[in-house]
Amino acid sequence: MKKFFPYFLVVLWLIFIVISVCAGIFEFQEMLAYDFLLRHRPTQQVNPEIVIIEISDDTLKGLGRWPLPRDYHADLIEILSKNGCRSIVFDILFSEPSGADVRLELAMKESGRVYLPFAFRLENKRGEAVAQEVLGGVTDTLKSAVYGVGHINIFVDNDGKSRRLPLWVKRNDQSWPALGFLAAAHYLGKEPASIAVPFDLRTGIWVNYPGAWLKTFRHFSYLDIIQSAAAAKKGEVPRLELSLFRNKICFIGLTAAGTSDFRANPVDPVYPMVGTQASICNSILQGAYIRRLGNFLRVLINFMLFFIGLWLALKLAPLVAFACSFLLAAGYIFTAQVLFNIRGVFYDIFFPVSSLIFVYSGVLLVKFFREVQARRLMEKELEIAAQIQRNFLPADLGDLGELKLRLFLQPAKFVGGDFYDVILLDEHRFGIFIADVSGKGISAALIMAKAISLLRILARDALDPGKLLSVLSSHLKSDLDSRFITGQYLIIDLRDYSFIGASAGHPPLIFLSRGSGRIEELIPASGPPLGLVDNFSYTVVKGQFLPGDKIFMYTDGWIEARDSQGKEFGALRLKEVLSRLTDQGIDNLLAALKQAYEAHRARALQHDDLTAVILERK
């Protein structure tokens, strides 16, 4: 069951991907990503035949409050028509009758190229945009004069932005095209229904805003046109050359500040609605559409990114996987932007990239917990190994004749390479061995196990410390490769408390004389460590224990102990500490030495195994 759990999670996530895409769970986030693409796209080329005639602040100042008297609109139609304008598209609702409607109707009839808008209250029925009622339309007087009528409805997303509009609105078995769409179709000499436009019945058409309002389309002031015509009539030089409106599609709309005909969109926080219709018109004329990939492809892309992310997280080391995932995400976003810029195609960004982050984090977390578990297991095994290793070593034997013996070992890790042994050779003699395997940890501990076993076999036969070291070294040579063991062997005769010893690469022992109060180093290394050479003759050194004398045998963990600044305890300091303890018992000596060591090490980690064998003649 546990084995299949990861697969179950993967399947669960795949199902979640399908549901998320189809149900649009992350639609809001994907729309933000869509906005990012649109904003970072270069400003698009607009058809030069499309112009915007703005009823802006200057117009309202010059001609009066909004709504403008319809005589002005009649004037505008006459001026534009006289100057060869192709289409005059009002993004202004003429829902209520007015006194000037007769004049306006006449102007529209004479022009024969005027478009007016409808606005509906919409209901999405079975995916289609269906008009429940007319919110604003065309008066009966003007209906007969208008050339075309289109709707100006838009879809507003939850964040208040307008990204799409219904290309068609159905009402009473009649379908009304969007105003800009209608104007474009007629400009092309076609009916709207004959133009293949990629749109979704449910979601409409994505408005291909060419760019920020002021950076796109040619903008003209309504007031300037009226005044230019008046000036031309008077024979004065007009502000605007009105012939430039020849063959143009003129969109007329309210853009004065503080008026309500604005809506936020991805490229502008405040975008006039007349611009939306102009953008649709431009999109049709340029054949430049924005398309969203279908659900199937979106799910496929999500699956692909998920599996690639999963593979990276599972197969690669965490940092490498992170770098690759980051590059993958960056590449994915970059590709999305390029595809959008070139082809107008967009697909999900937020969810696939989030999925990538999620799968990386998830796998990393699982790996981390597995590591923690493995580490705990390892620590348990090491504790067992440490116990086994401690069992190898002799227990504190207490007193041997007049000699007191203390044995101390503190590994740097759970297990280590330092060891000691006490071997009873006969009723009068015993040997003391102290050794240090090169390196630390498990490998040193394994070598230690072999060495101590060999030592116990060989020690009983070789009474000469030098000979023992030589034979032991030869036996170990083939097994140690380039590793080695420093070792010191002492044989003590309890009849006269004399001792003989030899050292193979091991630090000399420290002899503390009670009588003189002096300390000296005895039995220095007379040859290389064990395991390096065959049949080496190690020099044997003799000595004598007097009552009160002490011997301190140790491994280099003491002198190489480092403080937090990396400074070593050092051989000199060791001798200095010991020299102050010549009249102390070995228990006090050991305690004082440990205290000095701990004070030196303070918070630094124990660097090496710490071993000591201390003997005192009572």
**Which residues here bind other proteins, judged by CB under 8 A?**
436-440, 481-484, 486, 505-508, 524-529, 532, 556, 560, 566, 571, 608
Number of other residues whose CB lies within 10 A of the CB of residue 61: 11
Q: Which is nearer to other proteins, 105 or 556 (CB)?
A: 556
Q: Which is nearer to other proteins, 109 or 477 (CB)?
A: 477
CA 578, 583, 589, 593 dihedral sign is negative
309-to-7, 127, 129, 420 alpha-carbon distances in Å: 15, 36, 40, 54
CB of 441 to other proteins, least distance (A): 8
CB of 503 to other proteins, least distance (A): 9
Look up residue 508 and give its amino acid.
P
Q: Is there a contact between 33 and 349 (Cβ–Cβ < 8 Å)? A: yes
518-to-28, 512, 515 alpha-carbon distances in Å: 86, 6, 8
C-alpha dihedral over 521, 527, 532, 537, to 10 degrees? -130
The 3-state DSSP class for residue 269 equals strand
Residue/partner pairs of 324-330 with CB below 8 Å, 24 or more apart: 325/356, 325/357, 325/360, 328/356, 329/353, 329/356, 329/357
CB of 525 to other proteins, least distance (A): 5
State CA 569 to chain mean position distance. 45
CB of 608 to other proteins, least distance (A): 8
CB of 1 to other proteins, least distance (A): 42
CB of 328 to other proteins, least distance (A): 33
Q: Which is nearer to other proteins, 208 or 555 (CB)?
A: 555
Q: Which is nearer to other proteins, 116 or 525 (CB)?
A: 525
Q: Which is nearer to other proteins, 493 or 560 (CB)?
A: 560
Number of other residues whose CB lies within 10 A of the CB of residue 353: 20
- In 3D, which of 334, 204, 202, 209 has the Cα closest to residue 269? 209
Q: Which is nearer to other proteins, 162 or 486 (CB)?
A: 486
Angstrom distance (rounded) from CA 608 to CA 518:
28
Q: Which is nearer to other proteins, 367 or 562 (CB)?
A: 562
CB of 483 to other proteins, least distance (A): 5
CB of 521 to other proteins, least distance (A): 10
H or E element that contains 170: strand 168-171
Number of other residues whose CB lies within 10 A of the CB of residue 180: 31
CB of 540 to other proteins, least distance (A): 16
Q: Which is nearer to other proteins, 413 or 514 (CB)?
A: 413
CB of 566 to other proteins, least distance (A): 7
Q: Which is nearer to other proteins, 272 or 417 (CB)?
A: 417
Q: Which is nearer to other proteins, 363 or 525 (CB)?
A: 525
Angstrom distance (rounded) from CA 356 to CA 368:
18
Angstrom distance (rounded) from CA 300 to CA 305:
9
Exposure string of 188-219, with b = 16+ CB inside 10 Å and e = fewer, is: eeeebeeeebebeeebbbbbbbbbebeebbee
